[in-house]
Amino acid sequence: MKKFSELVVKQKGIVLALFLVLAAVSAFFIFFISVNYDMVDYLPQEAQSTKAISIIEEEFSESTPNARIMLTNVSIQQVLAYKKKISAISGVSSVSWLDDVLGKDILTSTPLEFLDASITENYYKDGRALLSVSIESGKESTAVAGIYDLIGEENAVAGDAVNAAVSQDMAISEVLNAMAILLPIILVILIIATTSWIEPLLFLFTIGIAVLINMGTAALFSEISFITQTVSPVLQLAVSLDYAIFLLHSFDEYRTSHEPHRAMQFAMRRALPTVAASAATTIIGFSALLFMRFGIGKDLGIHLAKGVALSFLSVMIFLPALTLASYKLIDKTKHKSFVPSFRKISKGLMKIRTPFLILTLIIVVPCFLAQSNTGFMYGMGDTSESYAAKDTAQIEAEFGKENLLVLLVPKETPGKENELCEELSAISHVTSVVSFVTAVGPEIPPQYVPQETLEQFYSERYARIILYTDNPEEGEQTFDTVQSVLDTAERHYDSYYLTGPSATLFDMKNMVESDTRTVNLAAVIGIFIVILLAFRSLTIPFFLVFTIETAIWINLSFAYFTDNTLSFIGYLVISTVQLGATVDYAILLTNYYLDNRKRLPKKAAMQKTLSENLVAVLVSAGILSTAGFTLAATSSEAIIAELGILLGRGTLLSLAMVACVLPALLIIFDRVIEKTTLESNFHT
């Protein structure tokens, strides 16, 4: 480290130029990032709903619909004309309507009252027509805009593709809105925590460079999820500002006895172990998401871990060069400290430590059990107030909620297919079954049916059966229906595949139940090992992990005790992020306690530790919790807003546990820690 610090200090001009060029290039490549708004794409290939989608794309001319268009005051001929124009819009892969089920000739030559009302009313009634549309992934925004240009605002469009279009339109603006709110608040916090008006700008500029590089390098990947795009910059900024603060504080201390370049070398050497340990715990927490089979975990884990690693490099390489280039300006902009003395507060915390520990031990088991039994939401949640929400309400008012499932079975005899459809029709909450045998009839040979109608139901190898249900998109009732459909198909066919929004969420549910245990265990084990190596102690990792895990359990138990559900992504992410990011507070406090314990009795050592270091924990927790609540306030996506609330609340709970409970644990088990820690050298 000595040679490295000397090299950075000596070549500060080259370092500055290199990072600025990398940031500029990265900013350019941000515009070439491909963002995925479809969560279905992150299911593994072995999921049966994913296989069903692949079969439909390969063997059928039309994809599974992901949008609905309602036209008002239109005749059948006008609907057919609209259908043709909609099909020509860029990004629209297929449009289906009543003519695809009954055949265009039958529809146009037979009076409506002579057609089967149980079928026609799903598509056309009272002069209103409901068309099903398939829009290509990634082209939702332009396709939906084109549809509105054609049909006008008096008609309505709804569905997953429309929700994706809303997300695409809002994604960049929401990141900018979050930063516009977050940066001034962080700036105020940093001004209070430092003694120079210019230092906070150096912190933000250093981490900002790392954020830009992280976002730009995302272009090296085929795509990133919109969740990663929204969350990653905010989290990276919030969790890594500590590194910069610690380095410059060390630099200020060495400045009192050394010239600037020498002081920076000493500061880099002193900061490296602490900053590296802090970064390592956060990176491991994020990296635990890589163990998810559901691909969104890998996407988040890679870019969040990469972001923290880049922040670490930026702080240890770019910030020293930047500081040495501007230390005279730092000196000129010095101001008095705005931080009050924490001596009285530390005395108060020492007095309440035992009651808080007792309270924690009382509630820890109920909170653990509560968070273990919390219900999950697997979809994206409701879209906030927007044209999508308005149009969805209009369509549902006329045609009801549409939650369709698409079942694929081997193409065999019409009689066997008819038996299956009869059983499917009898399943609770299945309102209609549309297949060749229900729409055309099992007694009519396929060769006598128009080709465009036949292609709706048969490929070379598979028969396609569409089931309409009155279920919400997810929930226990919905998943019971999905399971019933799968069980029914299994009784008739050796192979079968089911897709549709609810079938996809059903697969997510089954996958996440095992992912949850794996991710949490990986995060705890990884961070436990880092703490074990950092402190060379067999017992300290238990106390630190227990402190933060308890805060996590309390945080996640809120949903159970308030009779609400949690987004499974929020649950998994907060379990790793809160542990990885806030265990640093416990590490910092414990590290200084062990140093002070070599010179002082245990209670005096803890009071001194709290007096001198609580402000650093408060600054870090204030920034991270502000980032969380800012995400919640600025995001229109329910899943991201909920993640923000969990992050903000969880950070404050971790702060409370570290300030109030960890001191009690370290003091009570002081003798045990001494015996199980290498070279403890405690004061007797």
pLDDT of residue 172: 67
Q: Which fold has domain 387-505?
A: Alpha-Beta Plaits (3.30.70)
- What residue ranges do the domains of the chain occupy? 1-32+194-337, 61-164, 339-373+536-684, 387-505
pLDDT of residue 455: 77
CA distances from 172 to 34, 166, 642 (A): 13, 11, 19
Which has the minimum average pLDDT: 28-37, 132-141, 442-451? 442-451
Per cent of the chain over pLDDT 90 is 33
Q: Between β-strands 224-225 and 35-36, what pairing exists: parallel, antiparallel or unpaired?
A: parallel
pLDDT of residue 17: 94
Task: Give mean pLDDT, residues 138-148.
Answer: 87
Task: Give mean pLDDT, residues 262-282.
Answer: 88
pLDDT of residue 363: 95
Is it the case that residue 383 has pLDDT exceeding 60?
A: no
CA distance 528 to 525: 5
Is it the case that residue 385 has pLDDT exceeding 70?
A: no
338 class by beta-carbon count within 10 Å (0-12 exposed, 13-18 middle, 19+ buried): exposed
8 Å CB contact between 247 and 277: no
pLDDT of residue 381: 58
Beta bridge partners of 464: 408
- b/e 82-109 (16+ beta carbons within 10 angstroms → b): bbeebeebebbbbbbbbbbbbbbebbee
Dihedral, 517, 164, 307, 621 alpha carbons, nearest 10: -70
Q: Extract the tokens encoding 331.
A: 């000196």
8 Å CB contact between 409 and 426: no
Task: Give mean pLDDT, residues 265-274.
Answer: 87
pTM confidence score: 0.82
Q: List the one residue out of 549, 518, 560, 517 whose CA is nearest residue 369.
A: 560
CATH number for 339-373+536-684: choose from 1.20.1640.10, 2.40.110.10, 3.30.565.60, 3.40.50.970: 1.20.1640.10
Task: Give mean pLDDT, residues 304-314.
Answer: 94
- For the stretch 192-205, pLDDT in tens is 888 889 989 999 99
State the pLDDT confidence band at 380, using cuts at 50, 70 and 90.
Answer: low
Q: How far is CA 289 from the centre of its chain?
A: 11
State the pLDDT confidence band at 171, using cuts at 50, 70 and 90.
Answer: low
8 Å CB contact between 606 and 350: yes
CA distance 66 to 140: 10
Q: How many CB atoms lie within 10 A of CB 243?
A: 29
pLDDT of residue 195: 83
Ramachandran region of residue 103, left (φ > 0), alpha (ψ -120 to 50) or beta?
A: left
CATH architecture of 61-164: 2-Layer Sandwich (3.30)
pLDDT of residue 62: 67
Domains 61-164 and 339-373+536-684 share a fold: no
pLDDT of residue 382: 53
Which has the minimum average pLDDT: 159-168, 489-498, 500-509? 159-168
Q: List the one residue out of 331, 224, 234, 132 whose CA is nearest residue 581.
A: 234
Is it the case that residue 250 has pLDDT exceeding 90?
A: no
8 Å CB contact between 663 and 604: no
CA distance 492 to 487: 9
Task: Find the angle CA(285)-CA(287)-CA(293) to the nearest 5 degrees.
Answer: 120
Q: List the one residue out of 306, 296, 205, 266 whose CA is nearest residue 8.
A: 266
Q: List the one residue out of 573, 482, 640, 503 whose CA is nearest residue 40.
A: 503
CA distance 18 to 5: 17
Task: Find the angle CA(655)-CA(658)-CA(659) to the nearest 5 degrees.
Answer: 80
CA distance 215 to 212: 5
Asked if the 1-32+194-337 domain carries CATH number 1.20.1640.10, the reply is yes
The mean pLDDT of the chain is: 87
- For the stretch 24-79, pLDDT in tens is 999 999 888 888 877 777 888 878 888 888 888 888 766 778 888 999 999 989 99
CA distance 376 to 365: 20
- For the stretch 363-375, pLDDT in tens is 999 999 998 888 8
Q: How many CB atoms lie within 10 A of CB 173?
A: 11
- For the stretch 146-163, pLDDT in tens is 999 999 888 999 888 888
Dihedral sign (CA 381, 383, 384, 385): negative
8 Å CB contact between 616 and 563: no
8 Å CB contact between 664 and 353: yes
Task: Give mean pLDDT, residues 643-670.
Answer: 93
Q: Extract the tokens encoding 265.
A: 């070398």
CA distance 15 to 318: 6
State the pLDDT confidence band at 632, using cuts at 50, 70 and 90.
Answer: confident
Residues near 117 by beta carbon (within 8 Å), at least 6 away in sequence: none
Is it the case that residue 588 has pLDDT exceeding 60?
A: yes
- For the stretch 10-23, pLDDT in tens is 888 999 999 999 99
